[in-house]
Amino acid sequence: MTSSTPSADDAIGAALVQDWKKAISINTAILKSDKADIDAYCRLGFAYLKSGQFLAAKRTYQKVLGLDQYNQIATKNLKKLASLKKKDIEDIFCTALSPMIFLEEPGKTKIVECVHVAPSNVLSTLSAGQEITLKVKPHGVDVRQNNTYIAALPDDISFKLGRMIAGGNTYQAIIKSVDKKSVKVLLRELTRGKKFAKQPSFTSTTSYVSFAKTTRENPDMTPTGEDGDTEESPAEDSGEM
């Protein structure tokens, strides 16, 4: 009895654990059954990109544009591929994570479990150690990868960090862990503004987990600069699945 064709969930699962060889195999199998599956092509292109097979990635994204000339994922990644140089390959794809990246410092770091996470096809493009950005919104703080919404910080910490960022503090945010339904990030205070010069950003280094669901309705997943974002004038990440 022959096995059934692998599913999109199987492909996303492989990407979440960064098994790019398996991800390539699964998405290739899916495309044998449906040669017009744009999502599978995007996942395949990203798997090629992450495994350093840039020519294969380029050809795959070109196939995406052949099916959908306005596809933002393919357009963005082709631009990235065009700008890559040989010396960038090791830095972007092959450097092992330093254990120091998750070093916790009293008052300066905190591990936070995010809320309102994006769908698994977005989360599958993330990996531990990846630096992301914090986007202060009128009623909270979003976690984003380039222009793509990933999740939001819980209301309590959003309120505190929002004030501190407005007061001149700067922070680094790094993916601590990710699976199909959750994201944890390490927040690290980099600098303090004059207003909070003597105030630590965090009271402890223990992980922050919200005790109750926040009241924030329908997080704004609109890329910065498009309708719905009024603070200032990100399209999907370089490998949305």
Q: pLDDT at residue 224 above 60?
A: no
| Domain 8-94 CATH superfamily | Tetratricopeptide repeat domain (1.25.40.10)
Q: Quick count: other Cβ atoms within 10 Å of Cβ 161? A: 24
57-83 pLDDT per residue, tens? 999 999 999 999 988 888 888 988 887
Mean pLDDT of 152-161: 94
* Cα distances (angstroms) measured from residue 27 to each of 43, 179, 206, 221: 7, 19, 39, 26
Question: What pLDDT shows up at residue 166?
Answer: 94
Mean pLDDT of 83-95: 53
Question: What pLDDT shows up at residue 90?
Answer: 46
Residue boundaries of the structural domains of the chain: 8-94, 97-241
Q: Quick count: other Cβ atoms within 10 Å of Cβ 193? A: 13
175-209 pLDDT per residue, tens? 988 888 899 999 999 999 999 999 999 986 444 44
**How far out from the chain centre does Cα 225 lie?**
18
Domains 8-94 and 97-241 belong to one CATH topology: no
Reading the block at residue 162, the tokens are: 């929002």
Question: What pLDDT shows up at residue 228?
Answer: 41
Question: What pLDDT shows up at residue 165?
Answer: 96
Q: Which CATH architecture group holds 97-241? A: 2-Layer Sandwich (3.30)
- DSSP state string for 199-236: S-S-S-SSPB--SS-----S---PPTTSTT--S-----
Question: What pLDDT shows up at residue 201?
Answer: 93
